[in-house]
Amino acid sequence: MIIPFLTPDLRPELDLRVEKVRKAMQVAGLKAILVSSTANILYLSGCIFRGYIFLSVEDGPLFITIPPSVTEASSDTVTLHKPELIPGMLQERGMTLPEVIGLEYNDMFYNEVERLKGAFAGCGFSNASPILMEARMIKTPYEIEKMKEDGEHHVAAYSRIESCYWPGMTDIELQIEVERVLRREGCLGYLRVAGSRMEINMGSVIAGDNADMPSPYDFSMGGAGADPSLPVGADGTELRNGMSVMLDMNGGFNGYQTDMTRTWYVGSLPDLAFRAHDCSLKILHELEYEARPGMPLSDMYRRSMEIVKSEGLEDYFMGHRNHVKFIGHGVGIQLNEQPVIMERTKAVLTENMTLAIEPKFVVPGVGALGIENTYRVGADGLENLTPMDESLKELKK
Amino acid sequence: MIIPFLTPDLRPELDLRVEKVRKAMQVAGLKAILVSSTANILYLSGCIFRGYIFLSVEDGPLFITIPPSVTEASSDTVTLHKPELIPGMLQERGMTLPEVIGLEYNDMFYNEVERLKGAFAGCGFSNASPILMEARMIKTPYEIEKMKEDGEHHVAAYSRIESCYWPGMTDIELQIEVERVLRREGCLGYLRVAGSRMEINMGSVIAGDNADMPSPYDFSMGGAGADPSLPVGADGTELRNGMSVMLDMNGGFNGYQTDMTRTWYVGSLPDLAFRAHDCSLKILHELEYEARPGMPLSDMYRRSMEIVKSEGLEDYFMGHRNHVKFIGHGVGIQLNEQPVIMERTKAVLTENMTLAIEPKFVVPGVGALGIENTYRVGADGLENLTPMDESLKELKK
């Protein structure tokens, strides 16, 4: 595989990202990192290859490919057969071996990190993952464009969801039809998530009381799933009168992702369901209007809780039997990036953060209510990257 | 989430698995392990939950759930709020803290393992992953039944592939239709793989010269993929006269997986393509007949290479521009389990191993040829769990 990176048009963009990573390295007092996780390789090269990226405050980025990934020889690429050859190669190229090297403790298996530690005998080591999370948290203009493009496809696919419905179908049957619509719209069909405990197929469709089944994964809503080996999302519930049907399906079309939820219902729902749904919209619209660079994310969480309490809906907010303690999260290359919108977050809103905000409710006997949009943090508020009718809509044929 | 494990009917099965793991622990000289990866939690409990399983040669298994996963109190379950409480809890229950504890170095992120090491201050540590791989390598009768059931669904879905075709469609369009067929047959839509560098959607469809694009992942065949962020499989090639079309799609229906490939073509192919395909079948049929418990896997690899060379097809075997050095692998809960069928393997065939064998060829200008079946190693040869017409078949409407 000849690596197609460093195409002239992508070069300035990658330079910008390297600059952001170097700034985060300086703040952390770290002089060199060796990156190898797929998400961070993608961030720093624009593609996924097998190998490593070495970056120090003065040298690199040096793209080190391991076969079958190879690259044409150039001043910033090299192909090696194993990571143990990296230190010798750096010295041959006249680079100083770092005293301390950052490795991705949050993104690589224990034995992979230990192997690299063995290769860099005599060096000290530190965790590079927070540095890369920090850099990736604020998107470049190019990344924002990719995510907007992503949101457009996501909305285009969601606008066809109602045509997927037939009376008597199950939540799984609906999900399968929506997966096909998403894939035909260009969705790559792979959800790139951070963390070893996040497993899901192309997304989540939750109908009726299945909404109240907490999952062992870190998703906002649960669902029992179709099998004990994948206990999340749709469980085969037949869509019936009086049920809400929440769709939170994969929006990854181009290496970036948007996260988007809309909710439908069958037949008729009690007033409480509409009140909960309206409360979700009220939270989002207030945050859209009030959010400004500089605002602590913990304030967004607190403001949401105030609105929920003023409506008397706290029993249903972010779950009913089990309440999740966040209302949103960063999103980009991975579905679950930094920061997390929760009470304890120290993070502050910054221009060009991209946030999925998902104030959701679970009403027993009805199901999940509310929506989720992906936003760019702008100077004057939040810019919605997934604009589409937000109302609670009826599914009918 | 109330964990539904330890149902009376599953209990004897789990006891059998625990016995196998304990045997592997004894061989490795390890007295206790703490398991946390999703695949090994699934193996030892029959479901996925958030938490840990503690197992020592004399105590356990003790199922430790972390909320939102909870379980009804019993003598072999406990719910804790963080892993740091595990050692104290073990002592309270009168269990001896192990001198050395095995953790899953190949299956958990570095920071997760480090956190557990911190919790068990004063203990020594060792890698538990090989022990669990070893135990899982030989399936129980119950697991074989699950995989047979899986193979039946896999075959049922594959028998409908030809109805998915329309002239002028692309490889991606074909894949999308086949995904829907698989999902409607009950496929869970999630490919559980081992290793941090294995990313794919629901499988691989490879048409024409896209077969010769090596991927950075550890799959037998490559393919450029639809985007640099997921460089594997279908790349949008229009299916045209003279092309082979190989389908290697997800067969995970019940927590286990079968791995199965069949190949079609459009229009007509040169003789070389049919010769390569026939050679794949010849290799499989010889191995099916000759394989016996006790045979070294390296002999299977060597015998395959002999057949390939006697047909003069070594330039095309397991890739053309890039040759992969294995012809098959274990399969079960994860798609890529132990052992690997390659020249250097030390493993020996054992009854109730389950192996995916995939002797494949890449012919330039044509595409990928050959098939893949999943087998159980039986006393008298290999039992095919994915029996279905193996010929090179024409796609037509």
Question: In chain A, what percentage of residues exceed pLDDT 70?
Answer: 98
Per-residue pLDDT reduced to its tens digit, A114-155: 999 999 999 999 999 999 999 999 999 999 999 999 999 999
**Substitution target from B69, B104, B109, B210 for chain A, most A beta carbons within 10 A:** B109
Nearest to B4 among A67, A199, A228 (CB): A228
Cβ-defined contact of A228 to B111 (cutoff 8 Å) = no
Q: What are phi and psi of B134, to 5 degrees?
A: -60, -50
Averaged confidence pLDDT in chain B: 95
pTM: 0.96
- Residues B283-291: contacts with CB under 8 Å, at least 24 apart: B283/B307, B283/B308, B283/B327, B283/B357, B283/B359, B284/B357, B284/B359, B284/B371, B284/B373, B284/B390, B287/B357, B287/B382, B288/B375, B288/B381, B288/B382, B288/B384, B289/B381, B290/B381, B291/B349, B291/B377, B291/B381, B291/B382
Residue A19, φ and ψ in degrees, nearest 5: -60, -45
Length of chain A, in residues: 397
Q: At A216, is the pLDDT very low, low, confident or very high (cuts 50, 70, 90)?
A: confident
DSSP state of A208: G
Among residues A378, A375, A373, which one has the least CA distance to residue A389?
A373
pLDDT score for B225? 96
Cβ of B68 and A216 within 8 Å? yes
Cα–Cα dist A36/B195, whole Å: 13
Please report the pLDDT score of residue B334 as a whole number: 97
Asked whether the CA dihedral A133, A137, A138, A140 is positive or negative, the reply is positive
Q: Which residues of A touch B195 (CB under 8 A)?
A: 109
DSSP secondary structure code for residue A259 in this structure = -
Q: Which residues of B touch A172 (CB under 8 A)?
A: 183
The letter for the amino acid at A132 is: L
Cβ atoms of A374 and A331 within 8 Å: the answer is: yes
Confidence at residue A3, expressed as pLDDT on a 0 to 100 scale: 61
Chain A nearest CA to B39, separation (Å)? 9
Contacts of A101 in chain B (CB under 8 A): none
Which of A41, A70, A107, A110 is best to mutate for the B interface (most B CBs within 10 A)?
A110
- Mind listing the pLDDT tens digit for each residue in B348-391? 999 999 999 999 999 999 999 999 999 999 999 999 999 999 99
- CB-closest option in B67, B183, B201 to A190: B201
**Is residue A5 scored above 90 in pLDDT?**
no
What integer is the mean pLDDT of B150-178? 98
How far the first Cα of chain B sits from its last, in Å, is: 48
pLDDT given at position A197? 80
Contact check, Cβ <8 Å, B105/A127: no
Average pLDDT over residues B113-118: 97
For residue B220, the chain A residue with the least C-alpha distance is A68
Contact predicate B238/B397, CB 8 Å: no
A36/chain B closest Cα distance in angstroms: 9
Chain B residues lying within 8 Å of A222, measured CB to CB: 1, 68
pLDDT recorded at residue B236: 98
Point out the residue among B214, B229, B333 whose CB comes nearest to the CB of A68.
B214
* Interchain proximity A67–B322, CB inside 8 Å: yes
Q: Binning pLDDT at 50, 70 and 90, where does residue B138 land? A: very high
Pairing of strands A261-266, A393-394: parallel
Q: Which of B47, B109, B222 sits opposite A106 (nearest CB)?
A: B109
Determine the distance in angstroms separating the CA of A347 from the nearest CA of chain B, rounded to an integer. Answer: 22
- pLDDT of B3 reads 61
At A179, is the secondary structure helix, strand, or coil? Answer: helix
Instruction: Identify all chain B residues contacting A231, using CB atoms and an 8 Å cutoff.
Output: 1, 47-49
Q: Which of A103, A176, A189 sits opposite B201 (nearest CB)?
A: A189
**Smallest Cβ distance to B68: which of A69, A107, A214?**
A214
Contact B190 A230 (CB under 8 A): yes
pLDDT at residue B5, as a whole number: 57
Q: Which residue in A114, A189, A228 is closest to B46 by CB distance? A: A228
Q: How far is B349 from B297, CA to CA, in rounded Å?
A: 6
Local confidence band at B309 (pLDDT 50, 70, 90 cut-offs): very high
**Coil vs helix vs strand at B124:** strand
Q: Please name the amino acid found at residue B147.
A: M
pLDDT (0 to 100) of residue A6? 62
Q: How confident is the model at residue B2 (pLDDT cuts 50, 70, 90)?
A: low
pLDDT of B218 above 80: no
The alpha-carbon gap from B289 to the nearest alpha carbon of chain A, in Å, equals: 33
Q: Are A210 and A367 in contact (CB under 8 A)?
A: yes
B contact test, residue of A10, A38, A52, A109 with most B CBs within 10 A: A109
Task: Please state the rounded mean pLDDT for residues A256-271.
Answer: 98
What is the Cα–Cα distance from A130 to A106, expressed in whole angstroms? 8
> What pLDDT does residue B198 have?
87
- Give the range among A73-82, A184-193, B223-232 with minimum mean pLDDT: A73-82
Nearest to A196 among B112, B173, B186 (CB): B112
Q: Tell me how far apart the alpha carbons of residues A190 and A333 are, in angstroms, rounded to a whole number.
A: 11
CA A89/CA A93 separation, integer angstroms: 6
Determine the Cα–Cα distance for residues B250 and B158; give it in Å rounded to an integer.
Answer: 11
β-partners of residue A384 are: A375
pLDDT for A75: 82
Model confidence pLDDT, tens digit, residues B54-109? 999 998 899 999 987 777 777 889 999 999 999 999 999 998 889 999 999 999 99
pLDDT in tens, A325-372: 999 999 999 999 999 999 999 999 999 999 999 999 999 999 999 999
DSSP assignment letter at A162: G
Closest chain A C-alpha to B203 CA, distance in angstroms: 10
Q: A186 falls in which pLDDT band (50, 70, 90)?
A: very high
ipTM attached to this prediction = 0.96
The rounded mean pLDDT for chain A is 95
Interchain CB distance below 8 Å, B111 and A127: yes
- How far is Cα of residue A177 from the mean position of the Cα atoms in its chain? 23
- Report helix, strand or coil for A248: strand
pLDDT of residue A221: 85
3-state DSSP percent of chain B in helix, strand and coil, to 5: 35, 25, 45
CA B160 to chain centroid: 23
Question: Do A322 and B49 lie within an 8 Å CB cutoff?
Answer: no
pLDDT bracket for residue B4 (50, 70, 90): low
Above pLDDT 90, what percent of chain B? Answer: 88
Residue type, A39: A
Find, among B57, B40, B226, B317, the residue nearest to A229 by Cα. B40
